[in-house]
Chains A and B, each alone.
Chain A
Amino acid sequence: MSTSLVWVSVVSCALASLALLTISICLWLAVRARPNLAFITLYRAVALMLLPYAFAELLQLFEPVTPLTVALSVFTALVSMPTAIVLVRTLEGISSMQTTEQMSQQVAEANKARDSLAAQLRRTEAQLRRLGEAGAIGLIVTNMTTGEVLEANDRFLNLVGATRDELEQHHINWRAMTPTEHLGPSDDAVTQLRAEGITSAFEKEYLHRGDGHRVPVLVGAALLDPSGERALTYVLDLSERKRTEAAIAALQKQRAVDAKFRALLESAPDAMIIADGAGTMELVNEQTEKLFGYAREELVGRRVDLLLPNRDGDFSMPATLQMGSGLELHGRRKDGTEFPVEMSVSPLVTDEGLLVSSAIRDVSARTVTEAALRASNKELEAFSYSVAHDLRTPLRGINGFAKVLADDSGERLDDEGRLCLKKIQDSSLQMGALIDALLSLARVSRSELRRERIDLSAVARSVSCSLQQVDPARAVEFCVQDELEANTDPTLARTLLENLLGNAWKFTRDAREPRIEFGALTHQGRCAFFVRDNGVGFDMAFSGKLFTTFQRLHTSREFPGTGIGLATCHRIVDRHGGRIWAEAEVSRGATFYFSLPESRAAKGLHT
């Protein structure tokens, strides 16, 4: 037996024993690590079974060495060693590996997360759909190039007055529904959409397909597919907001108006009171405070009777009452003193019911003025009387004694002396005529207007007869239209025609075939009377002076006159509420027109 063979036997036995022991331990550990492995008992049995083999190999060291035993030990070591190494490595892997439970748990968790995500997604989707269908927002999918609306929710369809059928038949196109002035901004938005994939929200209007009214909207869009032509557009109805804005604007305007109204109320010269139907004061102005001596707070909420104690009945007078309508009232100040007032009342229909607006004016000053005016008028009347009576007396003397002198001693005077006496007489007569004309003018203004149905044709004929009697030598053709009537003062009507016909008579003095016409025609839809002559006429450039007192268009050397006659005519027509005017041409005669209310021509009028 060689020594080397003994060493080989020792080493191989040791290695084999170690390897078998390792295999056994590893199997045991593996089973511990994975207790739910299949055939676990088998693994344990193999581990236990290998232990004695490991000890048996150790015992081989003490056995006698034979080549056969050595070879068997070497073979056993060679087989068991790699198995041990593989097992150790496997065990390392098994200990680091997750268990099936862990894995299935993870899968379960993953599934749960997925389910929750899906639920959330469904919720979001449902919310979105609800949002779409609930009508808050109109949603459409459009073709960006053609403008056709491919899909739309009910809200959008309702908004623009379209039906789903129309949508399905491809009849809805947003361009067609966009007013011309909004096409530009809309196209800009499409450009932005193509470039950036999204548009900023902007306001525009759609034309309602039903009645064509404009629907204000806020729109914004996003590309649905970056390469495609479809865009998702949301359409928010702004009608309500616009209405609100308009209402706010109206309210602001109303406030501005209210402010102006208040300013107006405050600046009014009269005391202004706005009361409700029961006469409770709601609003008073500063003038009310001044006039009645109360502070505003003392008046608002109290009744108007406080200020107007003798006012009959309640304040809910529905009719309008004009200032100066003859309602005599007295106002009572805070200190109890009373003063005459005049008031106007007008109803104000407001949202809060009937209000009564009244303006109250202190007329004590005017009452005084009226008294002064009456006194002044009386004085004027006395003056007129004095003119009539006293101024004429010396004139009679001047005229009379000049005449006496001419009659008694004219022969002793030379021609110039006699001419002087003649001038004295003429002058006094002229002054007498002036005084009479002035008195007549004064009488027109002063006398009470008494209206009667007057046959102006008859008056004109009577006046023409008088004129003819005064100067029978003249042959003048009078043409008086029949049955011309007016509702006028008889005295003034006569004075009017005396002046106008008298003028015509006077200024036709040099006419070859003098003709004076009195008639009526229609002027601006109203009956206008006229007195026409073919006398000397006048230059219309001076027509502005015609009706002014003491203004004459002819010298008294040409034609005698006072310059008061036409002023008197003007005043007469004026007092009747009519109008007087003239048309004339030099050497071609003159026509004086005048209108009087309620006048007519029984046999129709010329136009």
Chain B
Amino acid sequence: MSKIILLVEDNESDELLTIRAFKKSNNANEVLVVRDGAEALDYLFRTGAYAGSDVQLPTVMLLDLNLPKVSGLDVLRKVRSDERTKMLPVVVLTGSREDEDITRSYSLGANAYVRKPVDFSEFMKAAETLGLFWLLLNETPLGRGGK
């Protein structure tokens, strides 16, 4: 079973560029995209559009903070408060470098916080490093052939 990256991203350009960056660095993994916080929760908890579907939990979730409907931080809060997802590795991937965002993300249980750089070359390096760490080096309880 391949490892899945769940990308929660509302901006189309960012989505395309992020996928490209991951594809360039690691072709083996699948990047699933959900476009707002509500959809992310539906996916993770198999509700709404994903009700009854047979989707598997991602190896890592890349979470933007500034999202329509349900904000990234709310998604994080729900993920951490649910038994099924409380150990899911969550990397906050956002444009903000505000101290408040960083602090709140970590206090809600984020595993990492990465700021998206403007320079795409830099971003590709970041994506490569992220993929290398979370998909190859890091061991997770959910990664071992979870549902």
Contact = CB atoms under 8 A, between A and B. Distances in A.
Interface of A: 385, 388-390, 392-397, 399-404, 425, 428-429, 431-432, 436, 439, 447
B66 to A, nearest CB: 5
B121 interface: yes
A392 B118 contact: yes
Interface of B: 11, 13-14, 17, 20, 65-66, 94-99, 116-121, 123
Contacts, number: 62
Main DSSP-derived SS at the A contact region: helix
Contacts of B96: 385, 388-389
A494 to B, nearest CB: 13
Contacts of A397: 11, 13-14, 17
B95 A389 contact: yes
Contact of B120 (A394, A404, A439): A404
A399 B120 contact: yes
22 contacts: A385-B98, A389-B66, A389-B95, A390-B95, A393-B11, A393-B13, A393-B14, A394-B13, A395-B118, A396-B14, A396-B117, A396-B118, A396-B120, A396-B123, A399-B119, A400-B13, A401-B13, A401-B17, A402-B120, A403-B120, A404-B120, A429-B119
B66 A432 contact: no
Contact of B94 (A389, A395, A403): A389
Given A388-B97, A432-B118, 7 more contacts: A385-B98, A396-B17, A396-B95, A399-B120, A401-B17, A403-B120, A429-B119
Given A388-B96, A403-B120, A428-B118, A396 B66 contact: no
A388 B98 contact: yes
Nearest to A440: B97
Contacts of B94: 389
A396 B97 contact: no
A406 to B, nearest CB: 10
Contacts of A394: 13
A390 B119 contact: no
A389 B20 CA distance: 21
Given A390-B66, A429-B118, A432-B119, A400 B17 contact: yes
A397 to B, nearest CB: 3
B68 to A, nearest CB: 13
Contacts of B120: 396, 399-400, 402-404, 425
A428 B123 CA distance: 14
